[in-house]
Amino acid sequence: MTQPAINYPVELLRDGKGIYGIGVAKEVEIDHRPQDLLLRRDRLAESETCFGGYAVLQMITGGFRDGMFTNMLEEHLRQVIHHGMLRRVGLAWPPPRSPDVHYERYWSSDSRQQVRNRQIYHGLRLGSLWVVNRLIGQALEEAADQEAVRIARRFRFRNRYSIYRAAALNPRAMQIMSVFPALSLAIYAKGLDGANRRIHNATQLVEAGAPLKKIADLMSVPMAFRKVKPAAADLALFAIDALRNERLVHAHMPDALPRMKLWLRSIYLAKGLGPEFVEWVAKHCLEIGGPSEVLSFLSDLTDWVTACHRASVPPHIFNAIIGEKDDPFHSPRGEQFIVRAFSPDMSLKTVTKLSSDWHEAVANNMSGPRFKFPEPWCCAGESCGYEIIPIATSADLYREGHALHHCVGTQGHRVQAGEAYFYSIRKDKERVATLELLRDHGGVAIGQLRGPCNSQAPKEIVRAVKSWLQPQREFRFPKERVVAFDALDGEIPFYGEIPF
C-alpha cells in the first residue's frame, strides 16, 4: 500500500526498510515535541516504554478538552498538525496575549470575525483528525506486529504500548499475555511495580519458558488472577494485597467485565479496613446497585466500620498507639455511638441499618457554638416545582451528604468561614440535589450542583436554580468571618470521600 506524502508537520517515519512509525518532522520547530510512535519490531528497542502520552494504537476522535484520548500520544500528534494548520491560515498558535487583554477570543475582538475564526478553528480540527487517522491507519497496517496490536488493544489505554512493545519483541511474553493478563501487566507495564530487580528476574524466567506458577509466585500474583480480564488487570493489581485469599476471587468475582471492574474497585476501597471487611464487600458489594451507588455506599460504610474498629480498642491502648492528645486523630470520631459492631457475617440489610442509625446519631450530636452556621445568604424558595431550602445547621449538612451519598457534610467549615452556603433541592419533599453558592463580587454565583452520588444535576434542576437565583438582590453575608472548625478535630468521621 503506497500513498503520496502528506505535507504536514507530522509524518510517517521511514528508513531503507520502509515505514517504522509516526513522528514530528525533524525540520519542524515546536516547543513541546511529542515522542515518536515506533511500531516496527526492529525499531522498538529505541522506544521508551512510558512517555508523556500513552499510545492507544488505534484511530482516534480528537480535539476534546476532556475526551477519552486527551492524554494519548496520537492526540498529541493531532494537536501538532492542527496548530500547524492554524498558523498556515494566519491564526497564530498559541493565540497572542497582551498585558491588558488576557486573550482575544478566537483571535479577534470583532464578533463577526470571531464567528468566522471559530468556524475555521473547528474545520481545521476535523481536518487534523482526518490527517492523523490516515497516518495511524497506514502505520499500523505497514509497520506494526498485527498479533501484538490485537493483544495490546485488550488492555486499558495507559498500558497498551508497554504491552505491545513486549509482545512484539518476545513471543513467550505474547503467550503469557494471552493466558495470564494480570501477570503480564505486573511484569511488562513499568510503573505498576517498583521492584525492578524482581521484574528483571521474572522477565528472564519468561524467556526461559519457566512454569506460570513459578513466575506468578515470584511476582506475588495469585494464580486465581488468571480469571481477570485484560481491561481489569490493573485494578486487580491495585487490589492484590486484599485478595491473598484466592477463595474470594473464585467464589465472588463476576465474569462480566463491567461488574468485574466494579468488584475490584470495591475491594480496593475496602482493603484498608482489614480482611473481614474485604470479605463482606466481596460477598455483598454487587447487591448494592450500579457503580456510583456502590462506591458512594461503601464510602459511607467505611466511616461506620472505622468507628467500630476504634470502639473495639481499649482507650489506654488506643492512646498508646495513636500518640498524644494533640494528634488530630485522637479526638472521638463517632465510636461512642456504636451499639453493635461490624461482623463479616452480617447481611446487607443489617449493615445498612446499623450504618444509617450511626450516621444519624452522629448528626444528632452536632450541636453547640463550634457547629453554628451564619444566617442563610438567600431565603428559601420554590422554582419550577422544586423547593430550594437553605441548610442552616451542621447536622442538616451532614444529613444531606449522607442522604445523597456525597461529601457535602465535610464542608461545614467553609460555611462557618463565609466562603460558601449550601442549599437542599427537593421534589415532593424528597432530596434530589445539593446546591453550593459562592461569593462573587458582592453577589453570589453557582458553585457545584450535584445529585445523588455526586452526579451532575439534570438540566431541569439547573434551570430551576437559575430561575430562583436570578431575581435575588440582597444577600445576608456574615459581617465577620469566624474561624472554621477543623473537620479532623471533631466528632465527625470523614474518611477518603470524594470532594463535593
Helix (H) or strand (E) segment spanning residue 13: strand 10-15
Structural domain of 464: 369-489
Domain presence at residue 351:
yes
Per-residue pLDDT of the chain (500 residues; tens, 9 = 90+): 444 445 789 999 999 999 999 999 988 888 788 899 999 999 998 876 545 458 999 999 988 877 899 989 999 999 999 999 999 999 988 887 755 554 567 888 888 998 999 999 999 999 999 999 999 999 999 999 999 999 999 999 999 999 999 999 999 999 999 999 999 999 998 654 445 888 889 999 999 999 999 999 999 999 999 999 999 999 999 999 999 899 999 999 999 999 999 999 999 999 989 999 999 999 999 999 888 889 888 888 988 999 898 887 766 555 555 554 444 434 446 788 888 999 999 999 999 999 989 988 888 887 777 778 888 888 888 988 999 999 988 888 888 888 888 878 778 888 888 889 999 999 998 999 999 999 887 788 888 898 888 888 889 999 999 999 888 877 777 765 544 443 333 333 322 333 45
Domain presence at residue 222:
no
Integer CA distances (angstroms), 261 to 253, 276, 290, 352, in order: 9, 21, 12, 23
DSSP string, 334-378: SGGG-SS---TT--HHHHHHHHHHHHHHHHHT--SGGGPPPPPSS
Edge to edge, what strands does the sheet with 430-440 contain?
Answer: 381-383, 386-390, 420-427, 430-440, 443-450
Asked if residues 391 and 422 have their Cβ atoms less than 8 Å apart, the reply is yes
- Domain end (from 365, 398, 426): 365
Q: Are residues 311 and 247 in the same domain?
A: yes
Helix (H) or strand (E) segment spanning residue 404: helix 394-404
- Domain end (from 127, 144, 161): 144
Domain presence at residue 402:
yes
- CA 302 vs. chain centroid, Å, equals 19
Q: Are residues 27 and 74 in the same domain?
A: yes
Q: Are residues 348 and 412 in the same domain?
A: no
Cis peptide before 94 (omega within 30 of 0): yes
Q: Are residues 409 and 313 in the same domain?
A: no
Domain presence at residue 434:
yes
Opening angle at CA 468, ends 464 and 470, nearest 5: 115
Q: Are residues 388 and 361 in the same domain?
A: no
Domain presence at residue 437:
yes
Taking only the tens place, the pLDDT of each residue in 81-113 is: 999 999 999 998 888 775 555 456 788 888 899
Instruction: Using CA atoms of 256, 261, 264, 269 in order, give the dihedral in degrees to the nearest 10.
Output: -140
CA dihedral (309, 312, 317, 318) positive or negative: positive
Q: Are residues 342 and 378 in the same domain?
A: no
Q: Are residues 31 and 130 in the same domain?
A: yes
Q: Are residues 325 and 447 in the same domain?
A: no
Integer CA distances (angstroms), 68 to 133, 325, 444, in order: 16, 47, 34
Taking only the tens place, the pLDDT of each residue in 133-178 is: 999 999 999 999 999 999 999 999 999 999 999 999 999 999 999 9
d(CA 365, CA 209): 64
Q: What is the pTM of this model?
A: 0.78
- Domain end (from 365, 380, 403): 365
Total number of domains in the chain: 3
d(CA 47, CA 73): 13
d(CA 239, CA 158): 18
Q: Are residues 265 and 331 in the same domain?
A: yes
Domain presence at residue 359:
yes
| pLDDT on residue 401 | 85
96, with CB counted inside 10 A (0-12, 13-18, 19+), is exposed
Range 68-73, long-range pairs (CB < 8 A, 24+ positions): 68/157, 69/157, 72/157, 73/34, 73/35, 73/37, 73/161
Q: Are residues 250 and 352 in the same domain?
A: yes
d(CA 408, CA 443): 22
Domain presence at residue 31:
yes
List, in sequence order, every residue forming a beta bridge with 18; answer none if it has no partner: 15
Q: What are the strands, taking DSSP E only, across 429-473?
A: 430-440, 443-450
Q: Are residues 330 and 381 in the same domain?
A: no
d(CA 310, CA 313): 6
| pLDDT on residue 179 | 95
| pLDDT on residue 486 | 39
Q: Are residues 126 and 25 in the same domain?
A: yes
Domain presence at residue 208:
no
Q: Among 283, 245, 285, which Cα is nearest to 265's? A: 285
As given in the structure block, the three cell numbers for residue 91 are 491564526
d(CA 89, CA 120): 9
Asked if residues 191 and 50 have their Cβ atoms less than 8 Å apart, the reply is yes
- CA 357 vs. chain centroid, Å, equals 30
| pLDDT on residue 498 | 36
